[in-house]
Amino acid sequence: MASTGIQRFQGKVALVTGGASGMGAETSIRLAREGASVAVVGLPDDPRGADVVAQITDAGGNAIYVGADVSREADCDAAAQAAVDAFGRIDLCMAAACILNAHYVSGEVPDDALAADRRAGHIINKPVEFWEKVLSVNLTGVMLTNRAVARYMIAQGDGGAIVNISSGAAKIPMPGSAEYSVSKTGVWMLTRVLALELAPHQIRVNTVAPGVIDTPMALGLSQDEERRAAFERFVPLGRLGEAEDIAEATLFLLSDHASYISGQILHPDGGLFTG
């Protein structure tokens, strides 16, 4: 793959969930650009996954696409096994798969389904299945992904690095989105616990918690200039984040430049969630 001159991940193998679009796709491409072989993990029926892999392989990199539902233990275990079968090991992991609400499908939410979610409103009225759906992907899915890759890292015996994607919602409660806020705070605590549990194996675990990022999950901010401008006014640096901003933060934490950092949460948010 065309090199930027930096090869921080030469000879490494990475597994990226949520890799078919947005932050996961950008991080997958950048990992490959810097020498990693990448198992790009996304939903089985998402055609964008093949596009991400094609971008990597067409430029001379190594990548495979693995279809998986991260809320299913068997799928997470199979994804990790697929990475090992293809590339021999796993050194790095980005767990980025998540949903905004129970009806979210990569930025394209049917109007009637989204309306039903919004009508449910606050947690006292929201159906428990809405809650369970979001936590099953955003929190349980991260746990299942982390332990699937960590088992291989432990067996390999030479350490590794994991980055979990949380959100500014881990610090700032979002009325009407209790399940999302709770799931993202849970990812932060999960990261801290795993950082301690895996430290004896020299496996580092950290969290990246983005602010408002211009990805499919931003629900049309790119197409709605008025809404976008309103969001940007709240950001001290005056712009929405880009997938590249999150990829850069993630690659830093996965790299040897962060070899003494574990159990931490990094907020690339333009200053939005300071304090």
**How many beta carbons lie within 10 A of that of residue 94, not counting itself?**
31
Q: CA-CA distances (angstroms) from residue 246 to 2, 26, 141, 167, 210?
A: 21, 9, 20, 11, 7
**How many beta carbons lie within 10 A of that of residue 69, not counting itself?**
16
- Please answer whether residues 269 and 210 qualify as being in contact, where contact means their C-beta atoms are separated by less than 8 angstroms: yes
Residue 29 host element (H or E): helix 22-33
Q: Which of 5, 25, 20, 57 is nearest to 250 (CA)?
A: 25
The neighbouring-strand residues paired with 42 are 67
152 tagged catalytic: no
Provide the token pair at 146.
């982390």
In b/e form, how buried is each residue of 127-161, taking b as 16+ CB within 10 angstroms?
eeebbebbbbbbbbbbbbbbbbbbebbbebeeebb
Q: 179 — phi, psi (to 5°)? A: -65, -35
3-state secondary structure of 3: coil
Q: Which of 259, 160, 264 is nearest to 209 (CA)?
A: 264
Q: Which of 142, 267, 253 is nearest to 213 (CA)?
A: 267
Q: Which of 65, 104, 180, 260 is catalytic?
A: 180
Q: Which residues does the annotation mark as catalytic?
A: 180
